[in-house]
Structure 1
Amino acid sequence: MLTINSIKNGIVIDHIKPGHGIKIYKYLKLDEADFPTALIMNAVSRKNVEKDIIKIENVMDLNLAVLGFLDPNITINIIKDEKIKEKIQLKLPEEVENVIECKNPRCVTSVEKYVPHKFKLVDAEAGEYKCEYCDEIYKINTL
């Protein structure tokens, strides 16, 4: 069995969908970090379900909206003195900006490159977002 020691002060990103940990790891640019990090893939949880986990031995700013968009089932644990000080349960954000790119060639974002790509959540259960400018619908599992 693989053993990863606990961290003293930092962040644990838990309950990541199996296989998606690497996407979040790269989004956070942890592959370029100069502090200890761990990416654990396909770990078995107490519920006997596989998950990915990221451990970061450092305090850093996280964009919770983007992380919630990437995987709404994530739990963020803030660790201080080897104990969980705060637990944050993520969900799909109501709005995302410059996370999804509108693919509609008639959208203003296709012509005017300075216009930010803004999407609003229209159906949380289906994971559907709508472009604020052209009403194009995107599902998060198809991106």
Structure 2
Amino acid sequence: MLQINSIKNGIVIDHIKAGYGMKIFNYLKLNNVDYSVALIMNAQSGKLGKKDIIKIENKLEIDFAILGFIDPNITINIIKDEVIDKKVKLKLPKSIKNVIKCKNPRCITSVEKNLAQEFYLSDEELGEYRCNYCDEIYTDVDFSV
């Protein structure tokens, strides 16, 4: 049986869609830190079937909007003295900036390299984003930061 101890103070990123834990781990650059981090992949979940979990034994500034874009079903637990001090439920952000890139070769962002890559949430039910400049639908499931 796999056993990961509880953390005293830090963050637990829970209910991550199975397979997305590594994306978040890489986005947060957790491979370069000097404190304890646990990435648990494909853990059993009554709600999701399988899920990923990240436990971070440290305070960390996290952009919840980007995590909400990656997976809006994530729950963030802020741990203080080994108990949950605060629980944050994420959702799809209304807009995102410089997280994904427009793939339309005729978009102004393809020509103007210093222009911010901005997208707005066009369909919350589908999780669909469109470019602010050319209205191109973002279709890729990967992201670049």
Deviations 1:38-71 (A, max 9, x none): 0000111244721000000000100001000011
Distance 1:117 1:46, change over 3 A: same
Distance 1:48 1:100, change over 3 A: closer
Is 1:87 aligned to residue 111 of structure 2? no
Q: Which moved more, 1:18-27 or 1:5-14?
A: 18-27
2:31 corresponds to:
31
Q: Give TM-score scaled by structure 1 length.
A: 0.95
Q: Provide structure 1 residue ranges, at least 5 long, that are not aligned to the other structure.
A: none
Contact 1:127 1:139 in 2 (8 A): no
1:119 corresponds to:
119
Within 5 Å, which residues of 2 pair with 1:41-56? 41-47=41-47, 49-56=49-56
SS of corresponding position for 2:26: helix
SS of corresponding position for 1:113: coil
SS of corresponding position for 1:52: strand
Deviations 1:48-95 (A, max 9, x none): 721000000000100001000011110000000000000000011000
For this pair of structures, how many residues does the alignment match?
Answer: 143
Within 5 Å, which residues of 2 pair with 1:101-140? 101-139=101-139
Q: Provide structure 2 residue ranges, at least 5 long, that are not aligned to the other structure.
A: none
Contact 1:74 1:90 in 2 (8 A): yes
2:64 corresponds to:
64
Deviations 1:20-51 (A, max 9, x none): 10110010000111100000001112447210
Q: Which amino acid aligns with 1:60?
A: L
